[in-house]
Structure 1
Amino acid sequence: MRWGLTVPLTGVPLRDHRQLISDLALLGYTDLWSAEVAGADAFTPLVLASEWDSSLRLGTAVVPVHTRGPAALAMSAAALADLAPGRFVLGIGASSETIVTGWNGIAYDPPLARTRDVLRFLRAAFAGERVDGKFDSFTIQRFRLEKAPDVPPSIMLAALRPQMLRLAAREADGAITNWLSADDVRKIRAELGPDKELAARIFVCATEDTEMARNIGRYLIATYLTVPGYAAFHDWLGRAEVMKPMREAWSRGDRNAAMSAIPDSLVDALIVHGTPDACRTQINRYVENGLDTPIIATLPTGTNLLETARSLAPA
């Protein structure tokens, strides 16, 4: 059984993660996964972790396929694969138009085609091949990695809906998802099939203050699940009606009304909260329903997140 943690922890400087990361394997963690939104980039925390620990599997969840050129992405990934041979997983995904265009000023190519093309480019580059030719979303002229990794990293795709999940099943080593309930895992596993790894970032609010946890959850749900990609994901999961009042209030610009329109049952389905023991029990429900790799993302509650991460260890 795998048990992962998202780094860096919110509000904790990277330099202060060293002791925690050194302790994670002894605590029972198997994986360390980074993210890339508006904080640290996805690679730097894992580069540090590769020097602070020699056993954890390291993964990006995920690196956007639009915000780096294919060659730059291959070089960064190859460097980390060289630092942690055999234990690096490159998770890539389409991200969102807000991040790609709004924040980076880059055109948001059709996400399925771009993700597929980057995946195929990376496979060839990691194999040491010279990549030279036209893909549907870009053209590469005579690129070859100076040193292909001795152990090519596994490549997993961020996937929320059937087309991307099926692409992951056909051509990648697995799929990474998030913002789902334990019961949703069955539907996603059915699309991915039984043979590929399924990982999911699970938001965990380790507190017995239920009202606080639900308020944090409402804010995050209103912020994230009104983004078109996530909205379509939850429509597919069957939540269009329960989310309709939130979406209508959000589209009017009434953020408070949007959060108020989110029922407790939705928060409780998508945000794990309670004592550390209760949180572990809820995370294990995801695993029982077909998840291979839970990736805990600790949510700040005013407590020390370094200690929270320790308290959520599988042991």
Structure 2
Amino acid sequence: MNIGFSIPDPALITPATIAEIEAMGVESIWVPEAYGFDCLTPLAWFGATSSRLRLGTSIVQMAARTPTATAMAAMTLDHLSGGRFALGLGASGPQVVEGWYGQPYERPLARTREYVDIVRAVIAREQPLRYAGEFYQHPLPGGTGLGKALKSIAHPLRPDLPVLLAAEGPKNVALAAEIADGWIAMLLGPRNEPFYRAALEEGFARRSARRPAAEFEVINPVPVVVDDDVEAAADPVREFLALYVGGMGAKGKNFHFDVMARMGYEDIAHKVQSLYLDGHKNEAAAAIPTAMVEEIALVGPPAKIRDDLRARQDTLTTTLVVQGDLRALRTVVECLA
């Protein structure tokens, strides 16, 4: 389950509801962040009120924290939860990175590679941290000259704590396959799988033998809306897509736009983006056809959702993450059962 960017309805986060979610057989709970609530604090809450749920970030914005701060938070939550934490990382886009976090965005793939290197080194705790990268240096050269190579005073519960990367572009997906333990695959549907399989294979060819490709995870967040009226069920997903395709990125630099364009919806994506950026958000959502919604979401009555789930059985996905309410979660669990 993914709880979304907002703190959920209080009824969702009671110990009784968390116990119900665990009893359903739900394996994990994932929390995102953008430029509002953070993703780590809610996971501490969910970890304290559950005993089995895996706790994943989907995602930690890398620009929000130094690599060492992220590694510290990951080790802390892993200890507190008894080894249930999964660290999902993402580069986000220039609007958020430069506009909200006030950090440079250039060369995000090279920056991500260094970030993951440092996080892994801190968690492995094999030696004091020394890193001479293009974007990150430990100890910092110059300054007072008193910087010292340090090793975490906290011992990791799991030196190989899983690190996953969110990615949408082919080069970033290939990077995830090369250096990470998994890929958080937003807007992934059966139609665009061949494109991503090729990107993954490119990355697996460069992957270290220490991390077998057979153990690689593909975490697929999927919006789910249950309603006997398919069009009504599609409406919230239209709003979601309008936000991401139209507003989560600048014109000409929107990775979500690019995904839908690769699926064959480029003309619609241009229309949605134009309407959204001109302030016509409702019209932007209305311009999205139900077929486009069904590429990346499960919408409609339970019987239809069950049939649509069958189409996802032989896909890249190893973990299906429900983006929706408790009814959506229960429906998916019942369909899979």
Give the TM bin, normalised by the shorter chain.
Answer: 0.7 to 0.9
CA distance in 1, matches of 2:105, 2:64: 9
In structure 2, relative to structure 1, the CA distance for the partners of 1:171 and 1:182 (3 Å cut) is same
Q: Which has the larger radius of gyration?
A: 2
Match of 1:102 among 99, 104, 111: 99
In structure 2, relative to structure 1, the CA distance for the partners of 1:18 and 1:275 (3 Å cut) is farther
Match of 1:185 among 154, 174, 193: 193
Counterpart for residue 287 of structure 2: 261
Match of 1:206 among 226, 237, 240: 226
Letter in 1 for 2:118: F
What is the 5 A alignment of 1:1-315?
Answer: 5-7=1-3, 11-13=8-10, 16-128=13-125, 129-141=127-139, 142-152=149-159, 153-193=161-201, 195=214, 196-226=216-246, 227=249, 228-298=254-324, 305-313=325-333, 314-315=336-337
Cα contact 2:129–2:138 (8 A) shared by 1: yes
Cα contact 1:186–1:290 (8 A) shared by 2: no
Deviation (angstroms), 1:10: 6.2
CA distance in 2, matches of 1:221, 1:271: 10
Task: Determine which structure has the larger strand proportion and give its number.
Answer: 1
* Larger mean Cα displacement after TM superposition, 149-158 or 258-267: 258-267
In structure 2, relative to structure 1, the CA distance for the partners of 1:90 and 1:66 (3 Å cut) is same
Deviation (angstroms), 1:280: 4.2
SS of 1:91's equivalent in the other structure is strand
The CA deviation string for residues 53-91 of structure 1, in whole angstroms up to 9 with x for no partner, is 222222111101111111111111110111234432101
Letter in 2 for 1:133: Y
Deviation (angstroms), 1:39: 4.6
Letter in 2 for 1:163: K
Letter in 2 for 1:239: Y
Deviation (angstroms), 1:133: 2.5
Cα contact 2:61–2:90 (8 A) shared by 1: yes
In structure 2, relative to structure 1, the CA distance for the partners of 1:181 and 1:10 (3 Å cut) is farther
CA distance in 1, matches of 2:137, 2:192: 38
* Larger mean Cα displacement after TM superposition, 262-271 or 171-180: 262-271
- Aligned CA RMSD, in angstroms, stands at 2.4
Deviation (angstroms), 1:251: 4.2
In structure 2, relative to structure 1, the CA distance for the partners of 1:216 and 1:306 (3 Å cut) is closer
Q: Specify every segment of 5 or more residues in structure 1 that has no aligned partner in the other structure, as ranges.
A: 299-304
In structure 2, relative to structure 1, the CA distance for the partners of 1:293 and 1:189 (3 Å cut) is farther
In structure 2, relative to structure 1, the CA distance for the partners of 1:308 and 1:258 (3 Å cut) is closer
Cα contact 2:169–2:255 (8 A) shared by 1: no
SS of 2:199's equivalent in the other structure is helix
SS of 2:231's equivalent in the other structure is helix
TM-score, normalization by structure 1 = 0.87
The CA deviation string for residues 100-144 of structure 1, in whole angstroms up to 9 with x for no partner, is 222333332432122111111111111103222322222221243
* Larger mean Cα displacement after TM superposition, 231-240 or 138-147: 231-240
Cα contact 1:178–1:200 (8 A) shared by 2: yes
In structure 2, relative to structure 1, the CA distance for the partners of 1:87 and 1:256 (3 Å cut) is closer
CA distance in 2, matches of 1:216, 1:278: 17
Deviation (angstroms), 1:171: 1.1
Cα contact 1:287–1:293 (8 A) shared by 2: no
SS of 1:268's equivalent in the other structure is helix
In structure 2, relative to structure 1, the CA distance for the partners of 1:255 and 1:6 (3 Å cut) is closer
* Larger mean Cα displacement after TM superposition, 126-135 or 150-159: 126-135
Cα contact 1:161–1:236 (8 A) shared by 2: no
